[in-house]
Structure formats: structure tokens, C-alpha cells
Amino acid sequence: MRTTVYFQKRIQWRRQFWHSVIPVLTIIFMVLFVLSPPTATGLSLYEITDKPKNYTVIENDQRKRDEQGAEAEAEKTFRILMGPGGGCMKYQKEKSICQRTFAFKPSSSYLHLASNQTLTEKFPTTSFLLMNHVTLGLTVLGFLLFSVAPFLPGFYDRAALTTIWAFVSSVFLLFIGNASATLYLKHRLKGCVPEMRVKLDNGFVYVFFLMFMSLLTMIDACAIAGGIKRDPPPINQDDLTA
């Protein structure tokens, strides 16, 4: 397939390659983020823990269950990590369990919750985390448009416009959206049994890095598109004689 005149004169394949490095790295970092925490536990967005307070739990040990009854008062600690790729649960020193899903729900049996617990009932659906995938989709679309731009006139402009939307999305969805979601989680889990504490985790710091990479991708694409010479529209002869 023949390349455009602008590509032949101003870009060529060496420059096209180097201007593709930043978008590719941005996509890799975003993919790692949207797959967390099951893939990268350290990039989880939200950490939900029980408050350090006594509450009723189920005692698994049969001997103690026979001696003390089905339920015992004790202070137990567990942690729930949530992110765009699903969630993970960690009960004391037991092996953590992760689920890769858009509808993550904690397990009452694994977390040793009592029969009067309301955590699983009040726990919200995690479909709102899909907003993190929107930024990834726009970034991938911008890179695809940039990749075919050498062969199709006007596609450098389309790629630049898409990366602008990707950066705007990273600001409003990754940053503002995820920060606002903590308020939603706190509201949903308010008054549940056991009492829970919700806070932003390490993944939110990673969001700032993704915003920076998205900004570099936008600048990269706009720099290429900005070099295109745009001829003025043809002058209408009727306007000259008027």
C-alpha cells in the first residue's frame, strides 16, 4: 500500500517508529492497571478493611466450635482490595483469594463472617470500575489510527484528536472518577456489620503516572499532526467578481 506524500516527505518509518514508543508504553502500563489487583496486587485502587473492633465471627475449628458454640467473639482482621480487574481478599495470614471479574463480591465464608453480617449484602457492584477501561480504549484507538496514518490521509489528525480525548478521560475518569468512587463505597458500606473502613490504595498514585503518560502520548500525536500543511480553501470566483 502506498504511503501519503506528507509521510514520505516529513515522517518516514524511522520517525514513525520512535513516535510510537510512548503510546505503546502507555498502553502497556494501562493494561497492567486495568488487570489489577488480581495481576498486580500493589496497583489496587481501594482498600477495604474491618475496623479494629470486636465482632462476631464463625469459628472454623470443630473442636472449639463444640466447646464455645458456633460463634465466638474475637477481633479478626481482613482486607479487601478492589481495582478495575476485580478484587482480592486476605484474611489474617491465610492465602489471599483473587477474582477477575466486573462483579466482585467478598466471600463471607473465607472472611469468617458471622450469620448477622451485612457486608456481602451491602457491598456494591463493581461495574463502575469499567470507567477505567474507557481511557485504555481511547488510547488504543488513538494508536491504531496513528499506525494506519501513513497510508490514509487525515488520520494523523484523527489520531491526535483521539489522544486528546484519552487524556481528558484520564483526568475525569481515572483521577476524578476513582476519587469520587471512594465516597460511593463509603456510603454503601456505612452501618454494615462488621464496620468497614474504605481508603484509596497505591493504584491511585499510579493514576498520576498514567495521566502523565497519557499527556506525553497526546503531545506526541499532536506534534506529528501539527506539521501537516493545510492549504486554504479555494477562492470562489463569484466572490471575486461580486
DSSP one-letter code for 46: E
Each residue's pLDDT expressed in tens, for the chain with a length of 242 residues: 788 888 888 888 999 999 999 999 999 999 999 999 988 888 999 999 987 654 445 555 555 555 444 444 345 588 999 999 999 999 988 899 999 988 888 999 999 888 888 999 999 877 778 889 999 999 999 999 999 999 999 899 999 999 999 999 999 988 898 888 888 899 999 998 888 899 989 999 999 999 999 999 999 999 998 877 655 555 555 554 54
Whole-angstrom distance, CA of residue 184 vs CA of residue 190: 10
Sign of the torsion formed by the C-alpha atoms of 150, 155, 160 and 165: negative
Sign of the torsion formed by the C-alpha atoms of 178, 131, 205 and 208: negative
Looking at residue 21, its pLDDT comes to: 96
Looking at residue 89, its pLDDT comes to: 94
Q: Which domains does the chain have, with CATH numbers?
A: 5-226 (1.20.140.150)
Residue burial 103-130, b: 16+ Cβ < 10 Å; e: rest: ebebeeeebbbbeebebeeebeebeebe
How is residue 155 written as a grid cell? 488520520
Helix, strand or coil for residue 5?
A: helix
Q: Are 49 and 197 in contact (CB under 8 A)?
A: yes
The set of residues, in sequence order, having a beta carbon less than 8 Å from that of 239 and lying 6+ positions away, is none
| Angle 218-221-227 from CA coordinates, rounded to 5° | 130
Query: What pTM value is reported for the model?
Result: 0.81
Written as one letter, the residue type at 16 is: Q
